[in-house]
């Protein structure tokens, strides 16, 4: 992963709540999180938290909520 990309994602000043689509690339058990790839990009963001009511699978499309450095995945039910 390009480290400058990750720094840009975290360090950009918050401009309000953003909602973006992403794809689950990996499911981590400790800590409980996901690695996701934002739509239209080739970089993977590691260790993104997700709601307990969602049981993610690799390949799922999710909504990625962001506000500054705070990220949260919400699952999309087909």
**pLDDT score, position 34:** 92
Query: Is 60 exceeded by the pLDDT of residue 18?
Result: yes
Domains and CATH numbers, the chain: 3-75 (2.40.50)
**pLDDT score, position 37:** 93
| Tens digits of residue pLDDT in 24-63 | 999 998 888 999 998 888 889 899 988 888 888 999 999 9
Closest CA to 14 of 68, 54, 64: 68
DSSP E strand boundaries for the chain: 18-29, 32-38, 44-50, 61-67, 70-75
Average pLDDT over residues 11-21: 74
Name the pTM for this structure.
0.73
**pLDDT score, position 75:** 76
**pLDDT score, position 10:** 63
**pLDDT score, position 13:** 61
């Amino acid at each position: 992963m390009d480290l400058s990309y990750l720094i840009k994602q975290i360090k950009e000043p918050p401009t309000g709540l953003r909602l973006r689509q992403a794809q689950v690339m990996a499911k981590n058990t400790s800590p409980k999180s996901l690695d996701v790839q934002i739509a239209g990009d080739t970089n993977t963001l590691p260790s993104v938290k997700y709601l307990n009511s969602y049981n993610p699978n690799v390949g799922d499309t999710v909504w990625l909520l962001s506000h500054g450095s705070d990220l949260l995945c919400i699952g999309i039910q087909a």
